[in-house]
Amino acid sequence: MTAQPDTTKHERRTPAPPPVTLIGMPKFPKNAKKELANEQLRSNLRHATTTIRNKRARVVQELPHWEDLRLAGEAIKNRTLRHLDSYLLQLEQTLTANGAIVHWAADAAEANQIVIDITRSKGADEVVKVKSMATQEIDLNEALEEAGIAAWETDLAELIVQLGHDRPSHILVPAIHRNRSEVREIFLEEMGRYGTPPPEGLTDDPAMLAGAARVHLRNKFLRAKVAVSGANFAIAETGTLVVVESEGNGRMCLTLPETLISIVGIEKTLPTFADLEVFLQLLPRSSTAERMNPYTSMWSGVREGDGPQEVHVVLLDNGRTNVLADEVGRQALRCIRCSACLNICPVYERVGGHAYGSVYPGPIGAILTPQLRGIGSEVDQSLPYASSLCGACFEVCPVRINIPEVLVHLRNKVVESHGVTAEGLVMKGGSWVMAKGRNLALVQKGSKLAGRVWPGDVIGPIPIPGPAAGWTDARDLPKPPTQTFRDWWTKEHQQPEQTGESAS
Amino acid sequence: MSSKEAMLGRIRSALTDVTPMAPADDVAVEWTYGQRPPGASDDMLGLFVERVEDYKAVVSWVVPDEVPVRIANALADHDVTSAVVPAGAPAAWHEAVAAAGIAVVTDDPVLSHAELDATGGVVTASRVGIAETGTIVLDHAADQGRRALSLVPDVHVCVIGSDQVVSDVPEAVVRLQTSIDERLPLTWISGPSATSDIELSRVEGVHGPRILHVLLVNV
């Protein structure tokens, strides 16, 4: 919770995030081991994910046609993705006709520079931000900070993360790893340094903490000249952007500043306004487990006399076209960032979001991140293995992304990228054993002997050195049995045969 | 090459497996739009009230003649001393609020953010209500005012006719198509502002109005 002062550059405007860059992160098992040791984190996560899982199940049960909605959501997204070039051109045309200025950004650096240039052209040195995964993905805040522009997160959870010098650990509730008393500590320690301090006598009552955020941010909303948002949906037919939120911080940012810049991943496109009837039923119930989220804003470019009079839309690729090129993996682009797969995942619940080394954690992160970033780094190669393939994520996904299918597909790609692997060698050995009954009998003979000489029931951690040790260290190898299945079978089946013979 | 050309080129080469044809022919969407969902409640208005109240908003049934006075009462109940009333709202609303001793603020000339922030309440009409989800949609026509008016003040008194309430999201989207075609902005409101960001337990009252009082007019 202590600041990380950066002495090499100008004085920071906003709280510094932790110094580790996500790209250089160690692989998932190493991260997971570290996070598993944090009991507070596990208890916070268990509490939060259990609550939201139960609530989601309740509101989903209210809709008898839920499966039809999921199928429709899947089909609409597939249709859009398979004709994405046409829909994007249509979106650009309608947005422009509505008075918006459309930019195309191939990567993070280009998108960040567009935001910096627009902000500077307005003479502004700060922006207020609506919670947005796309801007997290491109690390916009740090790019702005380096350009001397302060980016203020206004979503409560993002504010907790920003003030806590922390990183998000969940798509929907980035501060899910913090409990109320930790939030209180962060507010007391940091809020006053960056604006209106928390009220006297701040307790850990969530309502009072939310009240402190209201007071802290009000002045920032009222004075901001430029706002930055993402978008949940972009309607090609009408040039309309949609932001789904709860607190009203989104409405503040989308309404009060004179200039609005929205960073929109190209896969957010939907063909028609009517398509929203499907997604506005799927998304709130899957994400916050509500029948409807408190606020949804829709705007079509510039509305004279109402809201920002300069509206920019940045269409972002940043690896999405790579995902699109993979016929199995492209279904990940259907994702509407609801986070139901995180909340249901037994792996996520135990290790939390930070272990995934990406702004997209959990099952969806395990298939999206390696496709967006490629499988060049250790952490990205390990992500497709961060799952037990239990399939719960697929069952809850509102757009029916078959996450286990993509995980297995990506595991194959990782193995292929390595050529010969330890796993391959083990499998080769296994195939020799299994090739002939005689080979298996030989191996079993050796194993039986070992079982007779070994005292006790377990040998202890499996003594295999090298890369496999991470798995074998944590598992006890049972003592080999003194009788093989084949021996047992022969013995058991000889007896009745002999009896039968003597009776005849 | 511009980024636009590069991105479109990458999309097209990513989609070489897709046979060129009209999108609708390529992927069939098995969904009939604009339908009342199966098992929709017969008591639509009762469900609307129940679902709006579930968000801890206040709902009052009113008869048409009493709308102006009930608006003034609702504001007074929440100790509002000044309220914005949109220019396009019925004159009777302005008069009733003023008659109750509440300062009527108009947005002409356009209120500054600070002036709006100093105003305690706002009164608006609305476009559509959704029973299943307890949602009210504003399209910010003249009787609702620009978006900031129904956002910055802390108390929102919202008037909706019983004939404006539909069963669920699909019927609402059908009714809102006209507003979208006119490029009006839409604000979907389901209860007062809220957050679930601390331990995923819902708390009402963050940046938007902390009090939402809905007057459901029996027409």
For B48-74, the pLDDT digits (tens) are 999 999 999 999 999 999 999 999 999
Type and span of the H or E element at B69: helix B67-77
CATH label of the domain that carries residue B99: 3.40.50.10420
Residues of A within 8 A of B186 (CB-CB) are 296-299
Residues of B within 8 A of A266 (CB-CB) are 7, 11
How many Cβ atoms are within 10 Å of B79's Cβ, its own excluded?
A: 9
- Are A75 and B31 an interchain contact pair (Cβ–Cβ within 8 Å)? yes
- In chain B, which residue's Cα lies nearest the Cα of A84? B11
- Are B11 and A324 an interchain contact pair (Cβ–Cβ within 8 Å)? yes
Residues of A within 8 A of B118 (CB-CB) are none
Residue B146 has its nearest CB partner, among A284, A306, A317, at A306
Position B7 in a domain: no
- Are B11 and A106 an interchain contact pair (Cβ–Cβ within 8 Å)? no
- Are A317 and B206 an interchain contact pair (Cβ–Cβ within 8 Å)? no
Beta-sheet strands, E only, within A333-471: 458-461
**A439 or A345: which carries more pLDDT confidence?**
A345
Per-domain residue ranges for chain A? 28-321, 422-503
> Containing domain of residue B209, as a range?
43-217
* Alpha carbon distance B208, B194 (integer Å): 8
Please compute Rg for chain A using Cα positions: 27
What pLDDT, on a 0 to 100 scale, did the predictor assign at position A497?
47
Tokens representing A502 are 């003597």
Q: So what's the ipTM on this one?
A: 0.97
Residue B187 has pLDDT above 70, yes or no: yes
pTM summary value: 0.88
A275: left (phi over 0), alpha (psi -120 to 50) or beta: alpha
CA atoms within 13 A on the CB side of A456: 6
Residue B24: band (very low, low, confident or very high) from pLDDT cuts 50, 70, 90: confident
- In chain B, which residue's Cα lies nearest the Cα of A46? B199
Which pLDDT tens digit goes with each residue over B73-87? 999 999 999 999 999
Residue A421 has pLDDT above 70, yes or no: no
Closest residue by Cα to residue B121 from B67, B68, B81: B81
What pLDDT, on a 0 to 100 scale, did the predictor assign at position A427?
61
Residues of B within 8 A of A239 (CB-CB) are 183
Residue B14 has its nearest CB partner, among A88, A218, A321, at A321
Which pLDDT tens digit goes with each residue over A431-447? 666 666 676 676 677 66
What pLDDT, on a 0 to 100 scale, did the predictor assign at position A431?
65
User: At B109, which amino acid appears?
Assistant: P
Percent share of chain A, pLDDT over 70: 83
- Are B130 and A247 an interchain contact pair (Cβ–Cβ within 8 Å)? no
* Alpha carbon distance B205, A112 (integer Å): 33
Position B124 in a domain: yes
What pLDDT, on a 0 to 100 scale, did the predictor assign at position A495?
60
For chain B, what is the domain count? Answer: 1
Q: Distance (Å) from the C-alpha of residue A356 to the closest C-alpha of chain B?
A: 21
Position B17 in a domain: no
CB of A352 within 8 A of CB of A169? yes
Residue A494 has pLDDT above 70, yes or no: yes
Q: Examine residue B109 and say whether the peptide bond preceding it is cis (omega within 30 degrees of 0).
A: yes
Backbone angles phi, psi at A316, to 5 degrees: -110, 130
User: At B57, which amino acid appears?
Assistant: A
What pLDDT, on a 0 to 100 scale, did the predictor assign at position A20?
63
Residues of B within 8 A of A61 (CB-CB) are none
* Alpha carbon distance B99, B102 (integer Å): 7
Residues of A within 8 A of B204 (CB-CB) are 207
Residues of B within 8 A of A105 (CB-CB) are 3
- Are B177 and A273 an interchain contact pair (Cβ–Cβ within 8 Å)? yes
Residue A109 has pLDDT above 50, yes or no: yes
**B132 or A442: which carries more pLDDT confidence?**
B132
- Are B180 and A299 an interchain contact pair (Cβ–Cβ within 8 Å)? no
Residues of A within 8 A of B207 (CB-CB) are 154, 214, 217-218, 221, 247-249, 251-252
List CB contacts of A497: < 8 A, sequence separation 6 or more. none
- In chain B, which residue's Cα lies nearest the Cα of A258? B113
Q: Distance (Å) from the C-alpha of residue B141 to the closest C-alpha of chain A?
A: 11
Backbone angles phi, psi at B90, to 5 degrees: -55, 145
Q: Distance (Å) from the C-alpha of residue B42 to the closest C-alpha of chain A?
A: 15
CB of B116 within 8 A of CB of B84? yes
Residue A6: band (very low, low, confident or very high) from pLDDT cuts 50, 70, 90: very low
**A486 or B42: which carries more pLDDT confidence?**
B42
Residues of A within 8 A of B168 (CB-CB) are 281
Residue A98 has its nearest CB partner, among B183, B188, B197, at B183
Residue A408 has pLDDT above 70, yes or no: yes
Position B12 in a domain: no
- Are A104 and B4 an interchain contact pair (Cβ–Cβ within 8 Å)? yes
What CATH number labels A28-321? Answer: 3.40.50.10420
- Are B12 and A85 an interchain contact pair (Cβ–Cβ within 8 Å)? yes
Tokens representing A453 are 């000489």
Residue A187: band (very low, low, confident or very high) from pLDDT cuts 50, 70, 90: very high
Tokens representing A409 are 């597909």
Residues of B within 8 A of A290 (CB-CB) are 190
* Alpha carbon distance A77, A360 (integer Å): 20
- Are A277 and B173 an interchain contact pair (Cβ–Cβ within 8 Å)? yes
- Are A291 and B51 an interchain contact pair (Cβ–Cβ within 8 Å)? yes
- Are B151 and A218 an interchain contact pair (Cβ–Cβ within 8 Å)? no
Mean pLDDT in residue range A65-74: 97
Strand A458-461, strand B203-204: pairing:
unpaired
Residue A428: band (very low, low, confident or very high) from pLDDT cuts 50, 70, 90: low
Q: Which of A41-45, A98-102, A402-406, A497-501 has the lowest mean pLDDT?
A: A497-501
- Are B23 and A207 an interchain contact pair (Cβ–Cβ within 8 Å)? no
* Alpha carbon distance A128, A124 (integer Å): 11
Residue A504: band (very low, low, confident or very high) from pLDDT cuts 50, 70, 90: very low
Helix segments in A27-139, DSSP class H: 28-36, 39-61, 66-82, 84-97, 108-121, 133-137
Going from the C-alpha of A394 to that of each of A344, A406, B53, the distances in angstroms are: 10, 11, 34
Residue A72 has its nearest CB partner, among B31, B192, B209, at B31
Tokens representing A96 are 């422009």
Q: How many residue pairs bridge chain A and chain B with CB atoms within 8 Å of each other?
A: 262
Residues of A within 8 A of B8 (CB-CB) are 85, 88-89
Picking from A277, A293, A306, A334 by the largest number of B CB atoms within 10 A of its own CB, the best residue to mutate is A277
Residues of B within 8 A of A330 (CB-CB) are 14
- Are B193 and A294 an interchain contact pair (Cβ–Cβ within 8 Å)? yes
Type and span of the H or E element at A380: helix A378-382
User: At B181, which amino acid appears?
Assistant: D
- In chain B, which residue's Cα lies nearest the Cα of A174? B197
Residue B28 has its nearest CB partner, among A75, A84, A223, at A75
Position B1 in a domain: no
* Alpha carbon distance B209, B141 (integer Å): 20
Going from the C-alpha of A454 to that of each of A228, A442, A461, A486, A487, the distances in angstroms are: 67, 19, 14, 21, 20
Work out the angle between the directed axes of helices A156-163 and A180-190 (0-180°, nearest 10): 60
Which pLDDT tens digit goes with each residue over A9-64? 568 999 999 876 555 677 888 888 888 888 888 888 999 899 999 999 999 999 99
Helix segments in A173-205, DSSP class H: 180-190
Work out the angle between the directed axes of helices A39-61 and A276-287 (0-180°, nearest 10): 140
